[in-house]
Amino acid sequence: MIRAVRGTRDILPPASAVWNRLEAIAREIFRRYNYHEIRTPVFEETRLFARSVGEETDIVSKEMYTFEDHGESLTLRPEATASVIRAYLEHRLDQRPGLQKLYYLGPMFRRERPQKGRYRQFYQIGAEAIGSDSPAIDAEVIEMVVEFLEAAKLTDSTLLLNSVGCPECRPGFVARLREELRDVASQMCRDCQRRAQTNPLRILDCKVPEDQPIIERLPSILDHLCPACRDHFAAVRTMLDERGIAYEVRPRLVRGLDYYMRTTFEIVHGALGAQNSVLGGGRYDGLAEALGSKTAAPGIGFSIGEDRLVMTVEDKHAGLDPLELLIAPMDERAYRHSALLARELRRAGAAAELAAEGRLKRTLDLANRLGAQYVLIVGENEISSGRYALKDMRSGEQQSLSREELAGRFGDQ
């Protein structure tokens, strides 16, 4: 038997209902903050990710799904920010008035080792605010994230906050970091030994327990921020304090992609174990230039790991939406009549299921198993009189209604 490829999975009912609810909540929160949906292709030119994410990152060097297409190197998107900025530049969205606020939902692809909450095809909900380097935008984006997670019923989470500096101050910190690692990198995991040469900043993000004592002794980037970055970070913190949004400053918090600068943030949840990050984000003021733009496009965004979020909150959103109405035809003629009646009620807005013709007791048993709220009984008498027996499956009460009364009862109000 053919099975799903390792690292992928089928999302089945009732779990799919939880996904739909969370995505509906996300869309509503984005609407309130004036974000609009963007849909980009699931594959792009490989160089888009190599130039934006970084040649030396684990994503580009080890995890991307890349293939040749008639001499052109293409890659399934491992993340969406690079694609959004590419679309922003290509379609000159900077010519539109105001800040460009864009959101996306969809699958991403990375060839990682599958584990709890992590898949090779995974799903993200994310947003980007492009066109301003103001710390006020950083605070608003974080506020929006917190609003969404509260609406999604995620509790006991922690907001982590840091600044990773800018091209003016970060190189000096990285040089200091490289110097400090010279004598200790050999005692760390294999990935950290490699990162010490290629991307020392990524060592701060290592999750290997044995490496933590060494990492804790490394210099803090907050001690190396230039005055502009220090003021920017202070302003973000002040605005979060004014909103009553709790956070923890984590000087070791870095993002896994090269384009981040200044504000970085993450929200973690203990129920997810070692892979406890629900979402991460940050500012990327130089990304447009890295992609060849002559025009600056400062921005900040985030992505939510939807797979992990669903795992965390699915017990609070569990179960399928209950079936509103089950129509129970008593014989073949009643079935044909019921099919037309079901069509009318669905067009009016009702969620209706049409049972096979047969004995009423069997149909009522089916209604109980489906969790139907009502059963509409259609037999010879109902067809002749034009009035139908509606049974409330919770109270057991039964009443007689005309077609017009049914449409008013179950249709959109």
CA 118 to centroid of chain Cα atoms: 13
Q: What is the pLDDT of residue 252?
A: 85
Token pair of 135 as six digits: 């710390």
CA angle, 185 then 190 then 195, to 5°:
60
Q: What is the pLDDT of residue 243?
A: 96
* Residue showing tokens 């130039």: 51
Token pair of 247 as six digits: 């956070």
Q: Are 393 and 376 in contact (CB under 8 A)?
A: no
Report the alpha-carbon distance of residue 254 to residue 215 in Å, rounded. Answer: 13
Report the alpha-carbon distance of residue 132 to residue 158 in Å, rounded. Answer: 27
Q: What is the pLDDT of residue 273?
A: 47
Q: What is the pLDDT of residue 412?
A: 62
In a structure prediction context, what are the per-residue pLDDT tens digits for the chain, which is 413 residues long?
Answer: 999 989 899 999 888 989 999 999 999 999 999 999 999 999 999 989 888 776 666 677 778 889 999 999 999 999 999 999 999 999 999 889 889 999 999 999 999 877 777 889 999 999 999 999 999 999 999 999 999 999 999 988 899 999 999 988 888 888 888 888 887 878 888 888 888 877 888 888 777 888 888 888 888 889 889 999 999 999 999 999 999 999 999 988 887 666 789 999 999 987 544 457 889 999 998 888 888 888 888 999 999 999 989 988 887 776 667 788 999 999 999 999 999 999 999 988 888 899 888 888 888 888 888 888 999 999 999 899 999 999 999 999 999 999 888 888 887 64
* Residue showing tokens 């008498």: 381
CA 359 to centroid of chain Cα atoms: 46
List residues bridging with 44 in a β-sheet.
75
Q: What is the pLDDT of residue 106?
A: 95
Q: What is the pLDDT of residue 56?
A: 62
What pTM was computed for the model?
0.85
Edge-first strand listing for the sheet containing 248-249: 36-37, 100-109, 121-130, 299-305, 277-283, 261-269, 157-163, 248-249
At what angle are helices 403-410 and 332-348 packed, to 10 degrees?
Answer: 40
Tell me the DSSP string of 332-358. Answer: HHHHHHHHHHHHHHHHHT--EEEPPSS
